[in-house]
Amino acid sequence: MKQYLVTASEMQHMDQQTIQSFGIPGIVLMENAGRSAVDFFLTHFSYVPHKRVGILCGSGNNGGDGFVMARYLISAGIHVIVYLCAAKEKLAGDAKANFERLLLMDIPMIDIPDESALNNALHTMKGINIWIDALLGTGLRSDVRGRYRTIIHWLNTSEYPVFAVDIPSGLHADTGQVCGICVHADATITFGHPKIGLVLPTGTVCCGSLAVADIGIPEKITHMIPLRHYLLRPDDIAHHLPIRSSGAHKGTSGHVLIIGGMPGKTGACAMAAHSAMRIGCGLVTLGIATSLNSILETRLLEVMTLPLPEKNPGILGLSSFDMIQDAAQDKQCIAIGPGIGRDPETVELILSLIHHTNTPMVIDADGLNAIAGHTDCLRNANKPIVLTPHPGEMSRLTGLSVKDIQANRVGVSRDFAMNHNVFLVLKGEKTVIAHPDGMIAINPTGNPGMASGGMGDVLTGIISGVIAQKVPIGKAVETGVFIHGFAADRVAERLGNIGFIATDLMEFLPQALEQCKTLFLEKKKGNVASWFCEMINN
């Protein structure tokens, strides 16, 4: 089963279905959530029994979870003060019921219904050692204002550790963006399924160590709701890694054609070609301008080269179209773009190949720049197309600013993939893979050491090489992205997070493939939820 990620509305729908279809009352789900949160809280903060704990509660169900936690912590002999950051009359439903239970236990409580009350409460807040954030839940859609903003600012500027319930207050559950201000938690427990925002870059910073609690939502509910987001896992990848029979040979292991290169950028297409072989492709042909052929032949021993007619020395133009078309006939994948340049006639060549070639295609680098302003050529292409832009290239493809793209990486990627009928890989921390049917995969592998020239060229070669080995194209793209980051993580373990280069990564690909299989077998015996937390928290 996939490690699904959910939006706030999807999680709310799952809660409602659990209550309506299975007869499990909401107050039971809240009780389970609060109890699970206390278990993780006491595990993460082992020194709690000797400290004073403050619980900041809002008026919604997030506050209700905090009320439940207060009861369990008091029962465990821990000194607790509850700060109700809302007017009592605004409490309703299960949250109100749990608040009334607290009143029966005479738990110390301070009301903060307005700014004036907050100013009076601040002196008591300084005596708290650990804070629990149960202020704002997953339904937040606008910037945090008023006393909530003041409280969050106070928490973030204090030195006290903070534990967030379900999601750090101020974090957008769907986009992972900060809604004006956000709690910076040391640890977070989320309920049912991880929220998308928690695994995106800003979310991982704000939530600290993350755990997922099962609160009793039946697995059948998960299958009833058409969830569209998931986190890639080793088992997702291991199931689709190419398997070679004992009788396999180079002719049965796939053949990639790579078109790229120009003076000063021959390394880009060379790395793409070499990476396609390192990922297991049986044959790779590199199509380059005739005047560059001697350079690439010397540099690449196992890769075949195809000298192409050139417009100017080292620059490809329309004169090479027929030869590329002929060469593509028996290939399983074509990669276009690494180091190919932006000459106007090169752009015409790329657009013509997209329009007329029937072979699955991976487009990167200057191939992406060529289709900027011409993206209509993608919509009616008669083959699968994979685009692998970084945010700057995505900006040129969409006309959106990099800031707007980064603020909604999932939404922008999905819209483009669906509107243009392509597989889109939006590179960066937690790379987003958008399928043309609207499904979204988030990749957890990779590290800051990948901020180095050539990494994208290696990814192009990897994805192309996996596609050529007849892995279904959507799974091939996910496999390529995961292994790319996974190999980088293994390199970082050996060399450190700064200073390794793209060639280090591609030389480690065969080992990364084997280690991914091994990790899958190990985790298959263990707990999937623990693997999820391990990947996100690392």
315 and 255 inside one domain: yes
> Which CATH number fits the domain that encloses residue 71?
3.40.50.10260
138 and 260 inside one domain: no
Q: HSE on the CB side for 531, CA within 13 Å?
A: 20
206 and 319 inside one domain: no
Cβ neighbors of 116 (< 8 A, separation 6 or more) are: none
Phi, psi of 444, deg, nearest 5: -90, -5
pLDDT at position 524 over 60: no
Spatial distance between the Cα atoms of 364 and 371, rounded to a whole number of angstroms? 10
**In this structure, are residues 488 and 499 in contact, taking their beta carbons and an 8 Å threshold?**
no
pLDDT average, residue stretch 306-332 = 97
pLDDT at position 278 over 90: yes
Residue 520: band (very low, low, confident or very high) from pLDDT cuts 50, 70, 90: low
**Tokens at 48, concatenated:** 């709690």
Predicted pLDDT at 89: 92
pLDDT average, residue stretch 213-217 = 93
- Residue at which a domain ends, from 187, 207, 227: 227
37 and 91 inside one domain: yes
Predicted pLDDT at 528: 46
**pLDDT per position as a tens digit, 228-239:** 999 998 888 887
Strand order in the sheet with 255-259: 3-5, 229-231, 440-442, 432-434, 423-426, 385-387, 361-363, 333-336, 255-259, 283-289, 304-308
Local structure of 423: helix, strand or coil? strand
Spatial distance between the Cα atoms of 326 and 321, rounded to a whole number of angstroms? 9
Please, where are the H alpha helices in 141-284?
A: 146-157, 196-199, 201-207, 219-224, 234-238, 266-278
Domain range for 269 is 234-537
**Tokens at 324, concatenated:** 């590329």
Q: Who has greater pLDDT, 312 or 49?
A: 312
266 and 298 inside one domain: yes
Spatial distance between the Cα atoms of 167 and 212, rounded to a whole number of angstroms? 11
- Residue at which a domain ends, from 194, 227, 260: 227
241 and 218 inside one domain: no
This prediction has a pTM of 0.92
Q: Is the dihedral of CA 400, 167, 481, 325 positive or negative?
A: negative
**pLDDT per position as a tens digit, 36-74:** 999 999 998 887 777 899 999 999 999 999 999 999 999
pLDDT average, residue stretch 467-471 = 95
> Which CATH number fits the domain that encloses residue 406?
3.40.1190.20
Q: Which of 416-425, 505-514, 520-529 has the highest mean pLDDT?
A: 416-425
- What total of structural domains would you count in the chain? 2
Spatial distance between the Cα atoms of 35 and 210, rounded to a whole number of angstroms? 16
Q: Who has greater pLDDT, 113 or 235?
A: 113
120 and 147 inside one domain: yes
Residue 522: band (very low, low, confident or very high) from pLDDT cuts 50, 70, 90: low
Share of the chain above pLDDT 70, in %: 96
- Residue at which a domain ends, from 193, 227, 261: 227
Which of 44-48, 102-106, 314-318 is least confident? 44-48
Predicted pLDDT at 251: 85
266 and 202 inside one domain: no
Share of the chain above pLDDT 90, in %: 82
199 and 313 inside one domain: no
Predicted pLDDT at 532: 57
165 and 62 inside one domain: yes
Phi, psi of 449, deg, nearest 5: -65, -15
Cβ neighbors of 159 (< 8 A, separation 6 or more) are: none
35 and 104 inside one domain: yes
Q: How many CB atoms lie within 10 A of CB 347?
A: 21
374 and 336 inside one domain: yes
